Structure 1
């Protein structure tokens, strides 16, 4: 297997975790290159369900090495909780299996306080932040005042950085938000223990990637969230705080763009979104309820109910263009079973024009009207299908229609949450 990049093509929650878990069998390294614990990957292995927020999904395969790159923002407390939860279930999470770049920025307690205060104070429509401090941590990174994982090697350096950060943060907490100031020593004490454990996993991620590539072994790059949550290319301002597109692998993992091989775009067979923001194909009827219930559409990180709607091809065309998607992985196809009619959004209408791609401009996506094409549904339960020929004709016709519209082959189909409920199809 050549190097593979796994990216979400919608607003996240496309089922990337299962696909990374599936592909890890043929990879030597699994690398997380952006985002924080505002993303959650749910994996079902036999009778066991695992929910991971920071540690790459490949950790469930014995002997595989998982790297956390410099483009990630890492909450040390959450990281330690994940380590302990996995270890309690018999998963090896030693430092030889999980390596963190010293350049990875760390989410501090004051980042989470600021995140929540801002969302509470925001008037009008909320952004829908998870309140986990992701955005404020990336802000400090850009402002060059961030705390990095390698800083935990020196208590004096760490304390000095916290003191510097709180000089500004406390002014916001007290004067702007009317809250309480944080004490330097309290913050330091809160992070020292988890930081100590973090240090045990530090290593040169960029070097490990280069050595693996030079030896001709395979690397799997795992993204979080989805293309339309990208800070630059998503539905701004209702986006995440990092670049989620495939091009960010090089910057977020510390490798050459020439290392990127297959770009797998994960496409849910319908569309979901968590939190606020425009959603042209959103459903508010019994069909939307069907998708929500049958798909178990609750956020792995927040537990929030996901908004559900029909598949949106303009969004996917944009994702394919931005990421250079070479193959599509279609997930949750089984959720569409039982629908007599399935609608596909083939374009948008805006100001008397028909658009094949999302309009470029803040707020414009909220003004479009979806243009639908209806195709037959199917009643058969496809969750036990193991080959292409096991699928009903209406399901295969749906997939071929997507390939025709998007000009990219569908090579993997997911028909259930378990890693065994997968159909592999040659490109």
Structure 2
């Protein structure tokens, strides 16, 4: 493989679909090609599931650790930025698996901004209570409490636990007690069983141990890191699930575009190359519109690392949706290069793969989709009004109407699979790498046009 054209600057990796396109393998490839100062997480939380298979067969699903941890030159450190929602318990479980793969002291690789929110067991339980109460109208939540932590921080910013609170036991205990009260009140409101919840003292002690194992840093850390070395920003989920640009309500409480990484880079006076990732076909985990869905494809395109999730729901498969990916490109402001994964699937699909070039409504009229003028992200450090102001409410109604339209849309399909080069041409973006298998050894690097 030749050297990567983006190797001398920071990189921002973003999924141009509904997630699961291959952000993890893309980050793993980048970190195998050169030494980055860190992999930085700048949105989402422990609900991320980025599967990386090393050429030696080791497999790990990256959730909060950066997907450069298995890089051949040694693990690339992970930084959890202030725009991340950190789950210490999930991080501990993930670190234990990495240790079993031969990564020595993985927690020494992690730094976390003291301002980052924490997703606790109370947030997780509240998340699941709400989702269960929705019944047949479930949103498709991952059930990890990430959105609940963000919503709670917007409503009660002074009570929201942060990474830095893990160094302040008295403050942390007070906030955890208030969270327990919040969950109990929510359960009463929804007629659910609170189940007792975890012990506050035990949880606080575990968070104290977490704080002693990782590096908790202040606002000067990331700008200093960016001044010394390029980094890789590893996005979570996909643009089509973005809190404002996704198809409401089947979205995430997270900014999944390149906006967060670009904001952090701008604060440090740095820039980056934006890398979009797509599959050769389009998938979605859980509820929400997927206009090109074809249940028959699932039988010929099996998923080794994705399946039915108790909270998200089924893993769904559809034909390549170029119209949706164009929408994602517009929503994120474009990318500089494209990585295409699952290029080996056309043969496996036995000629069944097709591509969607647009949509029609049930009456056969063309249906165009385009991003609207979205409000600011909802993160507490970049808050939109809570409760939502009239503009934000109007925008979400627009996105909900778009979701309804896509739920009944008919894809305009062209015959035959689409080679990676043709996908890049259709999306007007230079092709940088193609994966024809699950490991970095299966990647082919191409030069930009």
User: What is the Cα deviation at residue 259 of structure 1?
Assistant: 2.6
Q: Which position in structure 2 is the counterpart of 1:259?
A: 270
Q: Which position in structure 2 is the counterpart of 1:390?
A: none
Residue of structure 1 aligned with 2:30, choices 8, 14, 23? 23
User: What is the Cα deviation at residue 100 of structure 1?
Assistant: 0.9
Cα root mean square deviation, aligned: 2.5
Measure the CA separation in 1 of the matches of 2:127 and 2:57. Answer: 36
Asked whether the 8 Å contact 1:317–1:357 carries over to 2, the reply is no
Measure the CA separation in 2 of the matches of 1:270 and 1:63. Answer: 31
Q: Which position in structure 1 is the counterpart of 2:4?
A: none
User: What is the Cα deviation at residue 29 of structure 1?
Assistant: 1.7
Out of 299-308 and 236-245, give the one that drifted further. Answer: 299-308
User: What is the Cα deviation at residue 200 of structure 1?
Assistant: 3.4
Residue of structure 1 aligned with 2:238, choices 222, 226, 248? 226
Q: Which position in structure 2 is the counterpart of 1:342?
A: 353
Q: Which position in structure 1 is the counterpart of 2:389?
A: none
Asked whether the 8 Å contact 1:36–1:72 carries over to 2, the reply is yes
Aligned residues: 402
Measure the CA separation in 1 of the matches of 2:309 and 2:337. Answer: 26
Q: Which position in structure 1 is the counterpart of 2:60?
A: 50
SS in 2 for 1:124: helix
SS in 1 for 2:138: coil
Q: Which position in structure 2 is the counterpart of 1:365?
A: 406
Q: 1:138 to 1:102 in 2, by over 3 A?
A: same
User: What is the Cα deviation at residue 208 of structure 1?
Assistant: 3.4
Measure the CA separation in 2 of the matches of 1:23 and 1:238. Answer: 31
Does residue 169 of structure 2 align to residue 159 of structure 1?
A: no
Q: Which position in structure 1 is the counterpart of 2:201?
A: 188
User: What is the Cα deviation at residue 170 of structure 1?
Assistant: 1.7
Q: 1:12 to 1:147 in 2, by over 3 A?
A: same
Q: 1:254 to 1:152 in 2, by over 3 A?
A: farther
Residue of structure 2 aligned with 1:401, choices 418, 422, 429? 422
Q: Which position in structure 2 is the counterpart of 1:389?
A: none
User: What is the Cα deviation at residue 181 of structure 1?
Assistant: 6.9
Q: Which position in structure 2 is the counterpart of 1:148?
A: 162
Measure the CA separation in 2 of the matches of 1:421 and 1:68. Answer: 29
Asked whether the 8 Å contact 1:69–1:205 carries over to 2, the reply is no
User: What is the Cα deviation at residue 404 of structure 1?
Assistant: 2.7
Q: Which position in structure 2 is the counterpart of 1:34?
A: 43
Out of 89-98 and 267-276, give the one that drifted further. Answer: 89-98
Q: 1:22 to 1:304 in 2, by over 3 A?
A: farther
CA-to-aligned-CA distance 1:99-127 (integer Å, 9 cap, x gap): 11111111112111111111211133211
Q: Which position in structure 1 is the counterpart of 2:343?
A: 333
Asked whether the 8 Å contact 2:285–2:316 carries over to 1, the reply is yes
Asked whether the 8 Å contact 1:297–1:305 carries over to 2, the reply is no
Residue of structure 2 aligned with 1:118, choices 107, 117, 130? 130
TM-score by length of 1: 0.87
Q: Which position in structure 2 is the counterpart of 1:204?
A: 217
User: What is the Cα deviation at residue 214 of structure 1?
Assistant: 2.2
Q: Which position in structure 1 is the counterpart of 2:11?
A: 4
Out of 336-345 and 111-120, give the one that drifted further. Answer: 336-345
User: What is the Cα deviation at residue 301 of structure 1?
Assistant: 9.9
Measure the CA separation in 2 of the matches of 1:325 and 1:301. Answer: 34
Asked whether the 8 Å contact 1:149–1:199 carries over to 2, the reply is no
Does residue 100 of structure 2 align to residue 59 of structure 1?
A: no
